[in-house]
Amino acid sequence: MIVNYRNWVLGNFRRFKHIKNIISVKKKGVQQAVNVILKPKDPQALYPTDILFQTIYWGAVKKHLGWKTYAFDVDGSKPEKDLLVLAKSIGRNTVGLYVPQGPEFAPEPEEYGPYLESMSESLMTQIEEEIAFIRYDLPWESSYAHEIEKCQRYDYPDPRIREIRMNFGTRNWKLKKAPVDMTVAHSCLVDIEGDESQLLSRMKPKTRYNIGLAHRKGVRVSACSVEKLPVFYDLYRQTAQRNDFRMSKYRFFEALFSAHKKHRGNSEIFLLLATHGRDALAGAIIAISHKGALFLHGASADIKRNYMGSYALHWKAIQCARAYDCRVYDMGAVSPVADPQYTFYGLYLFKSGFGGRIVHNSGTWDFPVDENIYLAFRNWETTWVDN
């Protein structure tokens, strides 16, 4: 069905674009060109936001790891709109620009493409580097979110179809779906407002039971100093080996805490460990940004898995987030729907048990500037992902 639809769209490209333009004219009278104006600013002057990856703190983390940081005020009707942009060398005397979980403020869905095109063109004039591409990890709701929620589809369509939809209204049709999403396209958000009894009542019975079971078995969860980071990293190593994923280096986790000492801004970060006796059962690195809490990294041991340490850990994380007056706890990646065919199906079952809702974002998109270098980088990245 999807293959036939793709062939139909590709075969009727001009007609499809013409229909869209007619609809746009009927809705707005005359379609207005999108013009995004950026004004450079000090990255230390970024406004507070619930999005950790657009904060002063996150800029400091990436700078500690060797990235360059830029910040811009974004012209628009809403106050306090700005943007953190990261730059990293990719060889050939060029850089890739990354906008992590940004821009924060979304235009209307039909203007996603034109808005990104205009912003990209503005960035190209503001940054004095040889730019290969600009990558946006969009926090915007996906155009397919409602179809997934209504069970009219189980995941996003083929990337080429998504590219056609994203590029409607652009002048150059350059936006491409990245081979991999920088953060996550589907995540579980838990509303943590109200008292604890209300939070527990919104959870699934099995989740409430396992939180209580961990307590009865003597599992304890504590906020720890950075000196316990090696304990977390050992749990992380066990998790990577058990689930066969590539590990991040220890220095990345060190940077999360060292940057926090120097450039806290409006963000907080803390390490939680669930223990039973002398055994570490699970660990989590939780980030607080303004009114949002994020489960940034997690890990669990191979032993005593029936002690439900991970359930106790997330309940403690929610309690800590509430102490900072957060409204939402972002538990991170899940599968788009409850279907065993997806890699993150197990995470869907576990995290949705805490009473969260599944959010479907637009994912990561590229705006190529130097087509040849971008293609070479993309080919390398695709091979790396496949392996």
Class of domain 33-183+362-386 (CATH, top level): alpha beta
Read off the pLDDT of residues 74-108 as tens digits, 9 standing for 90 and up.
Answer: 985 566 799 999 999 998 899 999 999 999 999 99
- Return the minimum-mean-pLDDT range out of 154-168, 347-361, 373-387: 373-387
Fold classification of 193-326 (topology level): Aminopeptidase (3.40.630)
**Most confident of the ranges 3-17, 22-36, 78-92, 303-317:** 303-317
% of the chain at pLDDT higher than 90: 81
pLDDT at 19: 38
What confidence tier does 153 reach under pLDDT thresholds 50, 70, 90?
A: confident
What is the per-residue burial (b if ≥16 Cβ within 10 Å, else e) of 191-220? Answer: ebeeeeeebbeebeeebbebbebbeeeebe
Average of per-residue pLDDT across 326-354: 94
238 pLDDT more than 70:
yes
pLDDT at 32: 63
Domain map of the chain by residue range? 33-183+362-386, 193-326
How far apart are the C-alpha atoms of 317 and 208, rounded to whole Å? 15
Average of per-residue pLDDT across 255-284: 92
- Return the minimum-mean-pLDDT range out of 30-44, 167-181, 230-244, 299-313: 30-44
pLDDT at 296: 97
Q: Are the folds of 33-183+362-386 and 193-326 the same?
A: yes
23 pLDDT more than 50:
no
pTM of the model: 0.89
How far apart are the C-alpha atoms of 302 and 260, rounded to whole Å? 30
267 pLDDT more than 50:
yes
Instruction: Check: CB of residue 224 under 8 Å from CB of residue 372.
Output: no
What confidence tier does 24 reach under pLDDT thresholds 50, 70, 90?
A: very low
How far apart are the C-alpha atoms of 42 and 241, rounded to whole Å? 41
Average of per-residue pLDDT across 65-71: 97
What confidence tier does 133 reach under pLDDT thresholds 50, 70, 90?
A: very high
What confidence tier does 264 reach under pLDDT thresholds 50, 70, 90?
A: low
Average of per-residue pLDDT across 159-172: 96
- pLDDT mean across residues, the chain: 90
pLDDT at 43: 94
26 pLDDT more than 60:
no
How far apart are the C-alpha atoms of 51 and 68, rounded to whole Å? 19
